[in-house]
Amino acid sequence: MTIFNIRTARLRSGEQFRDVRSVELEPLTLGGQRYVSVPEEPEAAFTLTRTSSGLLLELELDVRLVGPCFRCLGDAGLSLHIESREYQATDPGESDELTTPYLEDDRLDLSAWARDAVVLALPDKILCRPDCAGLCPVCGRDLNAEPHEHEEADVDPRWSALSELRDRL
């Protein structure tokens, strides 16, 4: 876990603090599959800006996730450029929108923030290539390496009435 104590920045209103740190990213589990970042501790640039009403936090990092393809289970890699912003009001009152979950007792959890930003930037499916054909639903072979089709299996006679209806429509 990578933590930064914001008190060490000693910011006054209108001032900025910039730094680059290696951020520890834990592996992600998506759809029961494990994805790891390469490198495991990517460099992240963060900026703290003290405003008259609070603290503006900005994070930027490049990360590459590797793991199995969602369709064919082959090796897949995904490069992401992450830019994230958070705000912490000096006096947030009851509003959750004026606070950030990554800052507690002047300790900024860069690892949790980076992980959440990576998850939010992910596409619906991580694929080995955009036109991945996946696995054959009948035999389970990789359709990218061995494109093929199977002959239709014998239809259960109990479904024959529905087949006739489909043919008429």
In the numeric block, which tokens belong to residue 18?
């910039």
DSSP run (H or E) holding 49: strand 43-50
Q: Tell me the one-letter amino acid at 139.
A: C
Alpha-carbon gap, residue 11 to 43, rounded angstroms = 23
| Closest C-alpha among 55, 57, 32 to residue 116 | 57
Per-residue burial over 89-102, b if 16 or more Cβ lie within 10 Å, else e, is eeeeeeeeeebbeb
Which sequence spans correspond to the domains of the chain?
Answer: 3-132, 133-169
Residue type present at position 128 = C
Task: Encode burial over 116-137: b for 16+ CB neighbours within 10 A, e otherwise.
Answer: bbbeeeeeeebbbeeebeebee
pLDDT at residue 120 in the model:
94
Contact, 41 vs 26, CB < 8 A? no
Collapsed DSSP state (helix, strand, coil) of residue 132: coil
Q: What is the pLDDT along the chain (169 residues), one digit of tens a residue?
A: 889 998 888 888 888 999 999 999 999 998 889 999 999 899 999 999 999 889 999 999 999 999 999 999 999 999 999 999 999 988 877 777 788 999 989 899 999 999 999 999 999 999 999 999 999 988 889 999 999 888 876 667 888 888 888 888 7
